[in-house]
Chains A and B, each alone.
Chain A
Amino acid sequence: MFQPSASQIGAQIDGAFWVIAIMCAVLFVSIISLMAYFTVRYRRGRNAAPVDIEGHRGLETAFVATSVVIVLVMFYVGWRGYKALFTEMPEGLFTIKATARQWSWSFEYPNGAVSDRLLIPAGSPVRVDLVSLDIIHSFYVPAFRVKQDVVPGTMRYVWFQSDLPGEYDLFCAEYCGTGHSMMVSSAVVMDKAEFASWLEAEGQEKAGKGAGRLDGAGVFKAKGCSGCHTVDGSPLVCPTLKGVYGARVRVISNGAVKEVVADEAYLRRSIFEPEAEVVEGFGPIMPSYKGNITDAEIEALAAYIRSLK
């Protein structure tokens, strides 16, 4: 019934699940069959003379005592994996920084590489630091059985180790608005060597780009613009950016509708102070990127958006 677990902690959590589930199933079956048996055995037609049994101290105490034992076992079984997740993380793990925003993820590696999928090496534990730029999201990889809310204002982390190369779904599990169900990515477990070479290549590319020109499409993805905006002309919750550049746009500014031309200055304003001029028909949900984006990146974005005809 479970998708097989692909992490070490996952096996432990599945174990806890089955211990508890089987205890529950046994109790459930006994209770229901006892109820059915009594109903049949003592039905009116067969037993017309009921006996008023008001209670039985010994039996009632036994009920309570066994229940206490049962639930304490369940508590203990559940506690162990939680303890491992929250208190037994080894020191000095390879750390990836995950940034959540409405409605996309980006993952940043120690050497500067950035990706919109989480790539990790098989066979060694990794730590993922979780930050949010706007509201609460939740990092969830079912195959690893780990989940952690990403709370703005503080940093949380998760750690896990997967030994099973493959591609697994990564969800946002905390409701975060219109695009919540689109905030889906994947966790890719790679062979160690493969991962190392990917990381190096990606890091170098990034370093090289930093010196030269940035790739606008890359920034558009990495900064999460693509989480909201499409580039193919189909507006979702947010205006599409296809053909915006140079067009006349009706915006609401300080409560009044006005028309502006979408030039580079407008793009800049949209990115720094999105709430100042809100495109008619859309909500003021775009986050401000002030302090979160470099000039070079803006230029690359502008060039990219200009190219979207």
Chain B
Amino acid sequence: MASEAGETLNISYLEKRDGGISSWVFSTDHKRVAILYLVSVLSLFGVGALLGLLMRLELISMGPTIMAPATYNSLFTVHGVIMIFLFIIPAAPGVLGNFLLPLMIGAKDVSFPRLNLLSWWFYLIGACLAAAALFTGGGPPDTGWTFYAPYSLRTGTNVTMAVFAVFVLGLSSILTGINFITTVHRERAPSMGWLRLPLFVWAIYSTAWIQILATPIIGVTLLLVMAERLFGIGIFDPAMGGDPILYQHLFWIYSHPAVYIMILPSLGVISEIFPVFARRTIFGYKAVAYSSIAIAGVGSIVWGHHMFVSGYSYTAGVIFSFFTFLVAIPSAIKVYNWVASLYKSSVVLATPLLYAFAFVFLFAIGGFSGLVLGALSVNVHLHDTYFVVAHFHYVMFGGAGFGFFAALHFWFPKMFGKMYREKTANAALALLFVGFNALYFPMFILGMNGMPRRYYDYLPQFASWQIVSIVGSWIFAAGLLLMFGNLIYALFRGPRAPANPWRAATLEWQTASPPPTENFAVIPAVEHGPYDFKDIR
């Protein structure tokens, strides 16, 4: 028995050979499910990014450039739906959560491995339905990713199927959430107390709560939209006495918390990276851990800040603005504590840390612009302008996206057992960083000058900044290609990575790279906190 176990342990989860593709798409191994997510999520990111590039290209000159207005409208709708529901929401839990959570808490797998696989299948079905929506019915939806009623009830495009696709993706997200909460409660290694959990686990745990508590609301909202379109029950339709603002409430009750589904895991990633490369413990572990819960909690009562000019009540506006400002505080705590963790440290400037720095820079700009938008009277001017577009690309891409890239560079050696070229990765980061700011910073200025979003065409005064932004998108594209190229090259040609290349202290580094199917030979004993580097300085 012992020798047999020893033998399987030499075989990594990647190499375990038992029958081609079906050993992947029907695998219940959390690490394989994570790779399934990685491949599907990145493919869809590629598609969404290409659409973004096309949109930019259309705006290179005034008037029609390369497409008709209806095409442009479908483009930003599909871009938004892909980036939100098919890329950034599933990316962090699906890839990082699945791969790391059991490893980090010293478990063999998640609590419900088969459910886990099922949630990937739901993801796949949702993606297929979304793709089908482009070619059936009245063609690709043109409502914006927000599906605002009553336009979404009237348009002839295939909103019904797109909405159903999002519903199925919601199911996938819920199953992941249920799995992770149960896993954190039930599968921790015996000596893994709550306050020894890595901060990424805290972040994923909080995320999972949002996933299960908020997602059902969008589920029922989308069912209502379908019922409206199919049977005309009238709830959101002013012509029948319904209220379109009610739709907005329901949509944002989910979709604001959803932005924290996107960002929380990335905040967790950064909380892992900082101490490892500062070679010292994190400053204020408890504050960082509990602030994740606080973001999840307060984040569920601020949704109305998307509706300041929707025509809802003045009272509601004031209350929602107030809570919106409160929710910035837990984020602030995290940023302060990261910076404080560099004090009296011993900084190793490795690639993951550089990506983490970029994250802090971009997320702070994004977060601060969120505060500007949260201020009532300022929002009246800036709502639905390019300022908002800039804000959410900074937080979603500069924040959540760069956090994901940082995570890829941090855990790449663990996931694939290969090392990438740090120099190339750093060069890619430089391109990404410059490109990103050139691409999105001009949008702040456009917005301040009143350029509305979702505009196929624009007035002459906006032209120059649009051009800067478009050139930025090309620099950015070059950076992305270089970054992914470097990683893909390393996947096949990179040198072998050791078990613990960064000399980190969390459990996932205590097993081989890549980890064996069983994760650990014996369930590890946890003798110290996650950021105790005393023995491995």
Residues on A lying within 8 angstroms of B by beta carbon are 1-3, 9-10, 12-13, 16-17, 20-21, 24, 27-28, 31-32, 34-35, 38-39, 42-44, 47-56, 59-60, 63-64, 67-68, 71-72, 74-75, 77-82, 84-87, 134-136, 138, 140, 142-143, 145-149, 151-154, 156, 169, 171-182, 184, 236-237, 283-285
Min CB distance B343 to A, Å, is: 6
Tell me if B187 counts as interface (CB < 8 A to partner A).
no
Whole-angstrom CA separation of A309 from B403 in the bound complex: 61
What is the CA–CA distance of A145 and B382 in the complex, to the nearest angstrom?
Answer: 8
Within 8 A of A (CB), among B360-380: 360-361, 364-365, 368-369, 371-372, 374-380
Contact between A136 and B244, CB atoms less than 8 A apart: yes
Assembled-state Cα–Cα distance A86/B365 (Å):
30
B142: chain A residues at CB < 8 Å are: 177-178
Known contacts A42-B345, A53-B343, A54-B283; decide if A147 and B375 are in contact (CB<8 Å). Answer: no
* Closest CB in chain A relative to B326 CB, distance in Å: 7
Asked if B285 is at the interface of the complex by the 8 Å CB criterion, the answer is yes
Contact A43 B364 (CB under 8 A): no
CB-based contact A51/B368 at 8 Å: no
Instruction: Determine whether B449 belongs to the interface, using a CB cutoff of 8 Å to chain A.
Output: yes
B interface residues (Cβ-Cβ under 8 A, vs A): 69-70, 73, 138, 142-144, 148, 150-151, 154-156, 238-239, 241, 243-245, 278-281, 283-287, 308-311, 314, 317-318, 321-322, 325-326, 328-329, 332-333, 335-337, 339-340, 342-349, 357, 360-361, 364-365, 368-369, 371-372, 374-381, 383-385, 445, 448-450, 452-459, 461, 532-534, 537
Q: Can you list 19 pairs linking A and B with CB atoms under 8 Å apart? A: A3-B449, A31-B364, A35-B360, A39-B347, A47-B344, A49-B346, A53-B280, A54-B281, A54-B284, A54-B285, A68-B329, A74-B374, A74-B375, A78-B378, A79-B321, A82-B376, A140-B384, A142-B449, A175-B384
Q: B239 contacts which of A9, A153, A177 (Cβ < 8 Å)?
A: A153
Q: Which one of B70, B280, B371, B381 contacts A52 once the chains associate, using CB atoms below 8 Å?
A: B280
Residues in A neighbouring B376, C-beta threshold 8 A: 78-79, 81-82
Q: B287 to chain A: which residues have CB within 8 Å? A: 55, 60
Q: A24-B371, A152-B239, A285-B156 are in contact. Are A179 and B69 (CB under 8 A)?
A: yes
Chain A's nearest CB lies how many Å from the CB of B73?
6
Smallest CB gap from A66: residue in B: B332
Chain A residues within an 8 Å CB radius of B342:
35, 38-39, 42
Contact B333 A173 (CB under 8 A): no
Residues of B within 8 A of A149 (CB): 309-311
Which residue on B lies nearest to A130, using beta carbons? B311
Known contacts: A50-B280, A149-B309, A153-B239. The answer to whether A178 contacts B364 by CB under 8 A is no
**A42/B70 in contact, CB under 8 A:** no
Q: How far is the CB of A97 from chain B (nearest CB, A)?
A: 16
- Contacting pair B314 A152 (CB below 8 A): no
- Asked whether, in the complex, the Cβ of B357 is within 8 Å of the Cβ of A43, the reply is no
Q: A31-B364, A142-B450 are in contact. List 4 more A-B contacts (CB 8 A).
A: A3-B450, A49-B346, A53-B283, A60-B337
Residue contact B377 to A81, C-beta cutoff 8 Å? yes
Q: Which 3 A-B pairs have the closest CB atoms?
A: A142-B450, A78-B375, A81-B377
Report Cα–Cα, A176/B287, bound state, in Å.
Answer: 44
Contacts of B325 in A (CB 8 A): 71-72, 74-75
* CB < 8 Å neighbour of B384 from A54, A74, A147, A177: A147
**Of residues B151, B349, B357, B458, which shows the largest number of chain A Cβ atoms within 10 Å of its Cβ?**
B151
- Complex: how many Å from CA A173 to CA B452? 6
How many angstroms from the CA of A47 to the CA of B346 in the assembled complex? Answer: 5
Minimum CB–CB distance for B339 against chain A, Å: 5
Bound-state CA distance A171–B308 (Å) is 18
Q: How far is the CA of A263 from the CA of B284 in the complex (A)?
A: 79
Given the interface pairs A31-B339, A146-B380, A148-B311, the reply to whether A75 lies near B344 with Cβ below 8 Å is no
**Residue pair A60, B347 in contact (C-beta under 8 Å):** no
Contact at B357–A181, with CB atoms within 8 Å? no
Shortest beta-carbon distance from B461 to chain A in Å: 8
Contact of B375 among A53, A77, A173 (CB under 8 A): A77
Q: How far apart sit A156 and B344, CA to CA, in the bound complex (Å)?
A: 58
CA distance A54 to B282 in the complex (A): 6
CB distance A153 to B238 under 8 Å?
yes
The interface residues of chain A lying within 8 Å CB-to-CB of B369 are: 24
Contact of B151 among A9, A10, A44, A176 (CB under 8 A): A176
Interface centre among B377, B385, B449, B461 (most CB of A within 10 A): B377
Decide if B318 touches A82 in the complex (CB within 8 Å).
Answer: yes
- Verify A175–B144 contact, CB threshold 8 A: yes
User: Please, how many angstroms separate the alpha-carbon atoms of A78 and B371 in the complex?
Assistant: 10
Q: Is the beta-carbon distance between B377 and A12 smaller than 8 angstroms?
A: yes
Cβ distance B30 to chain A, nearest Cβ, rounded Å: 32
Q: Is B457's CB under 8 angstroms from A147's CB? A: no
Alpha-carbon gap, A181 to B71, bound state (A): 13
A63-B333 in contact given A39-B349, A285-B156 (Cβ < 8 Å)? yes
Q: Which of B70, B142, B371, B374 has the most CB of A within 10 A?
A: B371
**In the complex the two chains form, is A181's CB within 8 Å of B333's CB?**
no
> How many Å from the CB of B244 to the closest CB on chain A?
6
Contacts of B309 in A (CB 8 A): 138, 147-149
Measured between alpha carbons, how far is A66 from B418 in the docked complex, in Å?
A: 45
Distance in angstroms between the alpha carbons of A148 and B379 in the assembled complex: 11
- Interchain CA distance A10-B369 in the complex, whole Å: 19
Nearest-neighbour CB distance to chain B for A171, whole angstroms, equals: 5
Give every chain A residue within 8 A of B143 (Cβ-Cβ).
175
CB pair A78 B364 closer than 8 Å: no
CB-contact partner of A154 in B311, B335, B336, under 8 A: B311
| A-side contacts of B280, CB under 8 Å | 50-53
Contacting residues, chain B, for A13 (C-beta < 8 A): 377-378, 380-381
Q: In the complex, what residues of A have CB within 8 A of residue B243's CB?
A: 153
From residue B355, how far is it (CB to closest CB) to chain A in Å? 14
Closest chain B residue to A39, Cβ basis = B347
When the two chains form the complex, which single residue of B245, B328, B346, B450 contacts A71, counting CB atoms closer than 8 Å?
A: B328
- Docked Cα-Cα span, A176 to B458, in Å, equals 16
Give the residue of B138, B346, B379, B381 whose beta carbon is less than 8 angstroms from that of A142: B381
Contact A28 B311 (CB under 8 A): no
How far is B312's CA from A151's CA once the two chains are assembled, in angstroms? Answer: 10
Instruction: Report yes or no: A136 in contact with B377, Cβ–Cβ below 8 A.
Output: no
Chain A residues with CB below 8 A from B348, complex form: 44
What distance in Å separates the Cβ of B313 from its nearest Cβ neighbour in chain A?
Answer: 9
Q: How far is it, in angstroms, between the C-alpha of A49 and the C-alpha of B278 when the chains are bound?
A: 11
A79-B390 Cα distance, complex, nearest whole Å: 23
| The one of A9, A24, A72, A172 that contacts B372, using a Cβ cutoff of 8 Å | A24
How many angstroms between the C-alpha atoms of A54 and B340 in the bound complex?
10
> Which residues on the A side are within 8 Å of B238 (C-beta)?
151-154
Contacts of A151 in B (CB 8 A): 238, 244-245, 310-311
Instruction: Find chain A residues with CB under 8 A from B314 CB.
Output: 82, 86-87
Question: Would you give the shortest CB distance from A231 to chain B, in whole angstroms?
Answer: 19
Query: Closest residue to A156 on the B side, CB-wise?
Result: B311
Q: Is there contact, CB below 8 Å, between A38 and B374?
A: no
Q: Which residues of B contact A80 (CB under 8 A)?
A: 377
Contact yes or no, A81 B328, CB < 8 A: no
Q: Do the beta carbons of B457 and A182 come within 8 Å of each other?
A: yes
In the bound complex, do residue B371 and residue A20 qualify as a contact, i.e. CB atoms below 8 Å apart? yes
**Choice from A24, A85, A156 contacting B377 with Cβ under 8 Å:** A85
